[in-house]
Structure 1
Amino acid sequence: MINGALYQTTATDIKKNILAGNYEVGALIPTENQLEKMYGVSKITIRKAVELLVAEGYLQKKSGIGTKVISNNLFNKLSKAKSYASIVNEHGTLTKTILKIKLVSPTATPFEASDQKVLYIKRLYTLNGQPFIIFEHYLPNIAIQSELKELRHRSLYKILKDSGQEINHFKDTFKAVRLDAADQKVLQSANGLAMKRQRQGFDRAGNLIEFSIAVYDTNKFPYEIDYEV
């Protein structure tokens, strides 16, 4: 029991570092020897902690290379399904670049009734250097305690959690669209067609606390979810 609690505590702390952006997606975490010294535990405890985070979809072990962070999403285990991000990561190097991050007026956003500004984040996702997703996020009621640039390496849901908000359930809608000229240029799309996804995140009281819009160039990589039966 003691060993079990110890490796779980170690895994929890490593996960906190991932969610806080201290270990960025695509980067290697410290080696086993380094983690042993950092936490003052045995090699077997570190290995169990890493195996747990691999099973949860946060880390990926690569022989001869090390252990890489593949996700900083609080919701890797929503169901018995392999997430889209995990599937994409298996096909190459997934990178996320923030194009814009700013506070905007709630006017003309889904949070018009709000009396405070909304955090707007626009990201570009690339796979092996090829742009294929543009994601725009709107987060209301965010308590900004630091400079916006300090939020760049935090996951979306870590930002929400730090503001005392947690997603309880999502609603997703999808449709085919024709890209506008600006998005077609960013995605370097040949035919200008894409899949549009609208995602709404609600808290336990049913309040909308996240609204996101994404366009996927599915010709470069299909939208795929691998369900476990």
Structure 2
Amino acid sequence: MKRKHILYRDVADKIKEDILSGKYPIGSFLPTETELEATFNVSKITVRKAIELLAADEYVEKRSGRGTTVLSNRPYNRLSKGTTFSQLLERTGKEYTKKNLEFTRVALAPEHPAYRLMGKEVMRLKRLYYFDHQPFIYYEYHLPIQLKGSSIDELEEKSLYRLLDEHRMVIDRFEDTFVGITLSTEQQKFMITPEVSALKRIRCSYDMQGEVVEYTEGIYNTALHPYMIEFEA
């Protein structure tokens, strides 16, 4: 008889432990749904919900007909005890989508903040998020030049952090800084907003050697929705 008291979160936590311990290395496949059902003595629905939870935290990626691949074994994914901004937006029931605008190799000016952190040449990704069909967040990611062989099409199929993992750039920690800014006329037109004030987030991500592997600036039109995160007590 199946043990009803085991919930999908319990199954997800056990699989996560196995990922972090190295039982399932990055790039490997998890056991099939049928095998996981037998291992945990639970239903297929419970297994699928557990995998969905791990995928939301970017530990794994599930593709139809190919199985479930391990993406990360880094502890920072354990921030799953907090509800991310994206997850809170999805709870509103309004559409929240992204559009990759450009992924190109650029030469930074010496006065650019990313110049001293990453050097002169970087790959820059421009991305726009829409909330309720309106421009909401504009990001400029500055990434290592080693990604120059990648394409914007790849970023339509996989997450940015998976792409970094595939190039052996595993993020160990990140730092976020938030400041209030005044939008320029050009920024107002681009974001299609009459708002003058916005929130700017600056993120620096570091690998295990302390090297910067991401410098990102994001502009949030918080008039559409305030920036917030939620943590469990």
Structure-2-length-normalised TM-score? 0.68
Identity in percent: 26
Segment drifting more, 139-148 vs 186-195: 139-148
Asked whether the equivalents of residues 198 and 222 of structure 2 are also in contact (C-alpha less than 8 Å), the reply is yes
**Number of residue pairs matched?**
188
Change (3 A) 1:198 1:147: closer
Would you say 1:100 and 2:98 are equivalent positions?
A: no
Asked whether the equivalents of residues 167 and 204 of structure 1 are also in contact (C-alpha less than 8 Å), the reply is yes
More helix by share: 2
Structure 1: distance between partners of 2:165 and 2:220: 27
Structure 2: distance between partners of 1:40 and 1:107: 51
Q: 1:196 aligns with which of 196, 200, 212?
A: 200
Alignment of 1:33-44 (within 5 A): 41=34
Amino acid paired to 2:159: S
Structure 1: distance between partners of 2:207 and 2:178: 22
In the alignment, structure 1 segments of 5+ residues that lack a partner are: 13-19, 21-38, 60-72
Q: How far off its partner does 1:131 sit? A: 1.3
> Secondary structure of the equivalent of 1:50?
helix
Change (3 A) 1:55 1:153: closer
In the alignment, structure 2 segments of 5+ residues that lack a partner are: 1-10, 20-26, 58-70
Q: How far off its partner does 1:99 sit? A: 1.8
CA RMSD of aligned residues (A): 3.4
Structure-1-length-normalised TM-score? 0.69
Runs of 4+ in 1 over 6 A off after TM superposition: none
Q: How far off its partner does 1:146 sit? A: 4.4
Structure 2: distance between partners of 1:175 and 1:129: 25
Would you say 1:186 and 2:190 are equivalent positions?
A: yes
1:166 aligns with 170
Change (3 A) 1:117 1:186: same
1:223 aligns with 227
Q: How far off its partner does 1:8 sit? A: 4.9
Asked whether the equivalents of residues 123 and 147 of structure 2 are also in contact (C-alpha less than 8 Å), the reply is no
Change (3 A) 1:49 1:197: same
Structure 2: distance between partners of 1:121 and 1:160: 13
Amino acid paired to 2:194: A
Asked whether the equivalents of residues 123 and 142 of structure 2 are also in contact (C-alpha less than 8 Å), the reply is yes
Q: Deviations over 1:93-119 (max 9, x none)?
A: 210011221111244441457577311
Alignment of 1:1-229 (within 5 A): 8=15, 41=34, 46-56=44-54, 58=56, 77-78=78-79, 80-91=81-92, 92-108=94-110, 109=112, 110-111=114-115, 117-229=121-233
Change (3 A) 1:162 1:192: same
Asked whether the equivalents of residues 117 and 212 of structure 2 are also in contact (C-alpha less than 8 Å), the reply is no
